[in-house]
């Protein structure tokens, strides 16, 4: 599974159109995603102070069946490979969606219960 932190508005739009597409797809040609072990650091680096977020769980096999390629690219700054989804994500490939925001008093992100 892959994970994408999403603006609530982007997920709402996906439910209307049938495809999730964020601003990075238009700007860079791919949707940035994380493996589960990368989610919290991604949130800390890019989403501090934001609470109106969703965490999308993407089924990589369903993406492949829909013809949406996923490539893993080395990100020097983080010293890890990250998944890049090369197209809009069909809503059918989104297996779960969780509200995702800061729960702790100190503002740190936590993974949703049950994940």
- DSSP bridge partners of 98: 55
Cβ-Cβ contacts under 8 Å for 9 (sequence gap 6 or more): none
Averaged pLDDT of the chain: 92
- Flag whether the pTM goes above 0.85: yes
Cβ-Cβ contacts under 8 Å for 46 (sequence gap 6 or more): 5
Rounded-to-integer distance, Cα 92 and Cα 99, Å = 18
The predicted pLDDT at position 81 comes to: 95
DSSP string, 36-57: GGGHHHHHHHH-TT--SEEEEE
Average pLDDT of the segment spanning 92-108? 82
Token pair 């492949």 in the structure block, residue: 64
Q: What is the pLDDT of residues 66-85, one digit of tens each?
A: 999 999 999 898 899 999 99
Q: Which of 34, 19, 28 shows the shortest CA–CA distance to 68?
A: 19
Domains of the chain: 2-100 (3.20.170.20)
């Amino acid at each position: 599974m892959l994970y994408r932190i999403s603006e609530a508005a982007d997920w709402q739009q996906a439910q209307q159109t049938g495809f999730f597409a964020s601003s990075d797809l238009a700007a860079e040609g791919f949707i940035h995603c994380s493996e589960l072990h990368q989610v919290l650091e991604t949130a800390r680096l890019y989403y501090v102070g934001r609470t109106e977020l969703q965490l999308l769980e993407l089924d990589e096999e369903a993406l492949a069946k829909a013809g949406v390629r996923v490539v893993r690219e080395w990100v020097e700054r983080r010293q890890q490979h990250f998944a890049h989804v090369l197209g809009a994500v069909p809503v059918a490939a989104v297996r779960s969606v969780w509200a995702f925001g800061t729960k702790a008093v100190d503002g740190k992100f936590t993974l949703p219960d049950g994940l």
